[in-house]
Structure 1
Amino acid sequence: MYPYLSLGPLVVQLPGLALLAGVYLALLLTEKRAAHLKLNKEHVYNMVFWGLVAGIVGARLAYATRFLSVYLESPLSLLALNPQTLSPVDGILTGLLVAGVYGRRKNLPLRPTLDALAPGLAAFMVAVGVAHFLSGDAFGAPTDLPWGIYLWDAYRHPTQIYEVILALGVFLAVWKQPLGRPGDGLNFLLLVALSGGARLFLEAFRGDSLVWDGGWRAAQIVSLAVVLLSLALMQKWYPPLQNRQKR
């Protein structure tokens, strides 16, 4: 793994740099797709930007509350560019809340806006996989397979590489807009379904997953629920899709 790059006295955290590159690419692709869908690209861009800012701040503050004594001793640590000191779930919820409020105030139509977000979110997921590879997070379970990588005193499944490959596949599928009409929201649901399916597969090889009693992996249960919900929404929102498939 390659968590740091030393440039003289400067030490760059490569996982954080990968995430920043992912944010930049996500904003760029979202703006382009918004223009293609004839949305106000400035409003969409600002919605994503402020959602990201709120998500990062919310994730850091939520993490800090769990280690309050540490951050009270060193308040400047709140500004550290370390993705490992973030609470992802709290960040996602905060970001979605702020983005939703902004989009509603700017009267952005829901389904076209969701479709505009899809390629950028897919590209960001690729960056997350790269960041995991660089940091060594999200590591795999021990394996005897010839492509195992040596990490944490064992040869393990290269789940970070699996994650990047799956994320690239999801991105290519969403970028081509294979379903529905542009702006009807179907490709956003496709992104959610494919991402949930990829996570369902990937978790089988993870070595750091939360496992409930009975051997159930928490992330797989959540991923399965996400896949089923997205497929149900496809059928509910888009009955014409079923008619086109029967022809």
Structure 2
Amino acid sequence: MLPYLNIGPVMVQLPGLALLLGLWLGMELSARQAVRLGLSGERVVNLIFWGLGMGAVAARLGYALRYPDAFVSAPLSLFSLNPQTLDPWFGLLGGLIAAWAYGQRSHLPLRPTLDALAPGLATFAVFVGVAHVLSGDAYGMPTSLPWGIELWGAKRHPTQFYEVLLTTGVLAWVGEQGRKARGDGTLFLTTVGLLATVRLFVEGFRGDSLTVLGGLRVAQMVALAGLLLVVWLYPFWRQNPPAYQPSEKASPSRGKAGQRKSAKRAKNRRKRH
């Protein structure tokens, strides 16, 4: 556990730094996957930015609607960077709506775009686990197993390391299968299904899970719902590929420039013939 690192007078929050690194690497991998599928990497990255940005705004506004007293005496705290004053469900809904709206406006086909997002999602999941290792959050239940770790005054399941190990396996699988993805959305669905399975497993050993209705773990309920949705959608998407033909691939970071170069090359070929 190493939540902070002092560099001279500056104290760096390492869990937050891990999440930022995971986000950056995830966007880079998603941009590369977008190019493999004939999409604009730049537009896919912009979609991620729009989803995250508007999701953060919606999460803060949702929290303010639920707990207005927290901001009446200090309205400027609406703009604070405190992650504890965010509503995850409002954030998820706002982020999905913003990403969908940007995708529609940018003419990004749904299922190929989802497949492009799969490597980024798996990468970010790995770094969420790394952030948990650094912060000590998401700790495990007490155990007598030999691989237990001493944390918070007890020998516990190393759930943070379970999370990192299993999500790294998911990322390795996505990296291998991403080269063969057809843009039918099944890469994304399988990634979500695998990550949901990881969450179901890891949550079973956690000692700090949020529970409702006398012991039901909220994270496991959400993961199970996601897994059931994947099982329901997968055969339909597999048997009904989208009416989508990949265009000539563009640069992952300079989509429009890459498209102009492709058009110029095509024009030169026509002149030669």
Smaller-chain TM-score range? 0.7 to 0.9
Report the CA distance shift for 1:68/1:146 in structure 2 as closer, same or farther (over 3 A).
Answer: farther
Answer yes or no: is the 8 Å Cα contact 1:180–1:186 preserved in 2. no
Indicate the RMSD between aligned Cα atoms, in angstroms: 2.4
Give the match for residue 5 of structure 1.
5
> Which residue number corresponds to residue 259 of structure 2?
none
Question: Which residue of the partner structure matches residue 18 of structure 2?
Answer: 18
SS of 2:212's partner is coil
Q: Does the 8 A contact of 1:33 with 1:116 survive in 2?
A: yes
How many Å apart are 1:166 and its aligned residue?
1.3
Residue in 1 that maps onto 2:30: 30
Describe the shift of the 1:149–1:25 C-alpha distance in structure 2 as closer, same or farther (beyond 3 A): same
Going from structure 1 to structure 2, the CA distance change for 1:83 and 1:21 (only over 3 Å counts) comes to: farther
Q: Is the 8 A contact 2:184 2:237 kept in 1?
A: no
Aligned pair 1:55/2:55, yes or no? yes
Q: CA 1:4 to 1:60, structure 2 compared with 1: closer, same or farther past 3 Å?
A: farther
- The yes-or-no answer on 1:111 pairing with 2:89 is no
Could you say what secondary structure the match of 1:205 adopts?
coil
Which runs of at least 4 in structure 1 moved beyond 6 Å after TM superposition?
none
- Relative to structure 2, which stretch is displaced further, 64-73 or 194-203? 64-73
Matched residues, number: 241
Structure-2 change in CA distance of 1:41 and 1:56 (3 Å) = same
Partner of 2:229: 229
Superposed CA offset, 1:153-207 (max 9, x none): 2222111111111111111111211797421111000011101111111110011
Deviations 1:93-132 (A, max 9, x none): 2211111110011111011000000001110111111111
Max Rg structure: 2
Are residues 47 and 57 of structure 1, via their aligned partners in 2, closer, same or farther at CA, if it must alter by over 3 Å?
same
Distance in 2 separating the partners of 1:64 and 1:2: 31
Q: Matches of 1:157 and 1:171 in 2, distance apart?
A: 23
SS at match of 1:12: strand
Q: CA deviation at 1:14?
A: 0.9
CA contact (8 A) 1:57 1:91 kept: yes
* Aligned amino acid, residue 183 of structure 1: G
TM-score, normalization by structure 1: 0.87
Distance 1:226 1:207 in 2: 23
- Partner of residue 192, structure 2: 192
8 Å Cα contact 1:60-1:85 kept in structure 2 = yes
Contact (CA 8 Å) 2:209, 2:219: kept in 1 or not? yes
Partner residue in 1 for 2:139: 139
- Measure the CA separation in 2 of the matches of 1:52 and 1:203: 25
* Identity level (%): 56
Change (3 A) 1:73 1:136: farther
Cα pair distance change 1:89/1:82, threshold 3 Å:
same
User: Which stretches in structure 1 are left out of the alignment for 5+ residues?
Assistant: 242-247
Q: In the alignment, residue 203 of structure 1 is paired with which amino acid?
A: E
TM-score (norm 2): 0.79
- Tell me how far 1:74 sits from its aligned partner: 5.0
Aligned partner of 1:120 in structure 2 is: 120
Structure 2: gaps spanning 5 or more residues: 242-273
Corresponding residue of 2:98 = 98
Does the CA contact (< 8 Å) of 1:112 and 1:185 recur in 2? yes
- 1:184 alignment partner AA: D
Which is bigger in relative contact order (C-alpha 8 A, separation at least 6)?
A: 2
Structure-2 change in CA distance of 1:240 and 1:54 (3 Å): closer
Partner amino acid for 1:142?
A: P
Residue of structure 2 equivalent to 1:204? 204
